[in-house]
């Protein structure tokens, strides 16, 4: 068993580093997209509300594996859409970026719903005060509502981010060399299957536990007094 781990030591670190990058990049874009969709969900414009609702309904109820495979096979292989330039690493780079795309648009639906619940906790008088000052809807959201909403949903957003870390394993479906793909390769040694599974489970605990503690601390520190 130790010989097997020693053999894969460098690749093990590289695989978890890919997992970390997938999580960070996808989390960044999911937060931006989710915030936009949340704004659409509470917009006074009916078509914007309808589009926001449709987005959340579709992507929350579509399997993540299907989304990522569609991004790779549908957009890249079939339609020829590329997110990376040509070169010897073209396939690897494109699959990595399409994995980020799939994870981002999927996770954005959950970010949106978490943030929308935070928007609903902001007292109506706060938004009315902004409108009385002549703020537009976008200004009101940016300056008054969203800062309070984010502070109210730090803990739920932490849960979404942890789920994203674990969901990153789906990227192995299109050949992205993250932890799950390496674990499948290492599990060809059936005698060490349980030990290998325990090692990767521990790796994800190491990644997600600090995240939960950090978001929990931030939630207590930045909690909005009502």
**pLDDT tens digits for range 107-158:** 999 999 999 988 888 877 777 787 777 778 888 888 888 888 888 888 889 9
Alpha helices in the chain (DSSP H): 2-7, 9-41, 46-60, 64-69, 90-121, 124-132, 137-140, 146-152, 154-167, 179-186, 193-221
Q: CATH second-level architecture of 2-221? A: Orthogonal Bundle (1.10)
Query: pLDDT tens, 52-79?
Result: 999 999 999 989 888 888 888 887 777 7
Residue ranges of the domains in the chain? 2-221
C-alpha 22 chain-centroid distance: 9
The most confident of the ranges 18-27, 128-137, 217-226 is 18-27
The pTM score is 0.85
Report the C-alpha gap between 94 and 81 in whole angstroms: 9
* Inter-residue contact 162 to 208 (CB < 8 Å): yes
Q: Taking all residues of the chain, what is their mean pLDDT, rounded to a whole number?
A: 81
Under the phi-then-psi rule, with left for phi > 0, alpha for psi from -120 to 50, and beta for the rest, what region is 223?
A: beta
User: Residue 188: which pLDDT band, with cuts at 50, 70 and 90?
Assistant: low
For the chain, what is the largest distance between any 2 Cα atoms, rounded to a whole number of angstroms? 70
Report the C-alpha gap between 11 and 182 in whole angstroms: 8
């Amino acid at each position: 068993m130790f010989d097997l781990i020693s053999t894969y030591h460098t690749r093990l670190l590289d695989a978890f580093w890919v997992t970390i990058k997938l999580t960070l990049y996808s989390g960044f874009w999911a937060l931006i997209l989710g915030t936009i969709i949340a704004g659409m969900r509470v917009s006074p414009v009916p078509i914007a509300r309808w589009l926001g609702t449709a987005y959340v309904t579709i992507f929350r109820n579509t399997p993540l594996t299907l989304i990522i495979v569609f991004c790779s096979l549908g957009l890249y292989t079939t339609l020829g859409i590329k997110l990376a330039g040509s070169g010897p690493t073209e396939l690897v780079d494109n699959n990595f970026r399409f994995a980020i795309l799939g994870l981002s648009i999927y996770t954005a639906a959950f970010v949106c719903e978490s943030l929308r619940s935070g928007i609903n906790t902001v007292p109506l008088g706060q938004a009315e005060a902004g409108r009385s000052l002549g703020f537009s809807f976008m200004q009101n959201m940016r300056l008054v509502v969203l800062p309070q909403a984010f502070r109210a949903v730090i803990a739920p957003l932490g849960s979404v981010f942890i789920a994203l870390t674990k969901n990153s394993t789906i990227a192995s479906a299109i050949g992205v060399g993250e932890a799950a793909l390496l674990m499948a390769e290492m599990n060809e040694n059936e005698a060490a299957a349980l030990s290998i599974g325990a090692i990767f489970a521990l790796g994800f605990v190491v990644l997600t536990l600090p995240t939960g503690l950090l978001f929990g601390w931030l939630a207590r520190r930045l909690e909005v007094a009502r």
